Amino acid sequence: MNGHFDWIAPVFDWAGGHRDPEALRRVLGLPSPGRLLDLGGGTGRVARSLVDHVGALVVADLSRPMLRRAARKAGLRAVLAFAGSLPFQAGAFSRILVVDAFHHFADQEGALRDLFRTVEAGGRVVIEEPDARRVGVRAVGRLEKILGMTSCMRPPEAIAEMAARAGFRTRVEEGSRFSVWIVGEKD
């Protein structure tokens, strides 16, 4: 990671957009008594709306400034972690959420394998990504590259296919106008 998220941490909650917590709870299958991991969760802006619907909530990210902000939010545990080498035991989480971060993962296939390892049998992983089938989203992806980010936006079917190779039973659901959910379940 090249530090872009370190310098936007102070304004990320305000500028990062807002998710529909009801829709997230539905697609995640909440409430759940288990633990939820918000991977690439930054400041915890999305996770904080889910705290009361899980047994415990961990926000993992590579940006220390983002995690410092997450740690200040009630009910969130902040952990410095790389998506392809998570510091958690196998089956540690019943749910894993990745919101608008998957395209920033350097090794997307490795991250999916690690997500499969880290989610328990019967658990669910939800990846919300910008819909790369849309022209505006592809333009944002090009802009991120110009800004020096290593973004790799993929169509949702390609992400679902990668998740299936990692071991998940997958489906794609429409999110908002510009995003999709790739849902992976571990048998």
Strand, helix or coil at 119? Answer: strand
Give pLDDT tens digits for 139-180: 676 776 666 677 888 999 999 999 999 999 999 998 877 899
Token digits of residue 91: 């089956």
Token digits of residue 157: 């079917």
Strand, helix or coil at 100? Answer: coil
Q: Band of the pLDDT at 16, cuts 50, 70, 90?
A: low
Q: Band of the pLDDT at 1, cuts 50, 70, 90?
A: very low
Distance between CA atoms of residues 136 and 157, nearest Å: 18
Q: Could you give the count of Cα atoms lying within 13 Å of 182 in the half-sphere of its Cβ?
A: 26
- What pTM, to 2 d.p., does this model score? 0.89
Query: 153 with 105: CB under 8 angstroms?
Result: no
CB count in 10 Å sphere of residue 123? 25
Domain 24-152 is classified in which CATH homologous superfamily? Answer: Vaccinia Virus protein VP39 (3.40.50.150)
Domain ranges of the chain: 24-152
Q: Length of the chain, please? A: 187
Distance between CA atoms of residues 138 and 165, nearest Å: 25
Give pLDDT tens digits for 63-122: 999 899 999 999 999 999 999 999 999 999 999 999 989 998 999 999 999 999 999 999
Angle at 45 between CA 142 and CA 130, to 5 degrees: 30
Distance between CA atoms of residues 177 and 179, nearest Å: 6
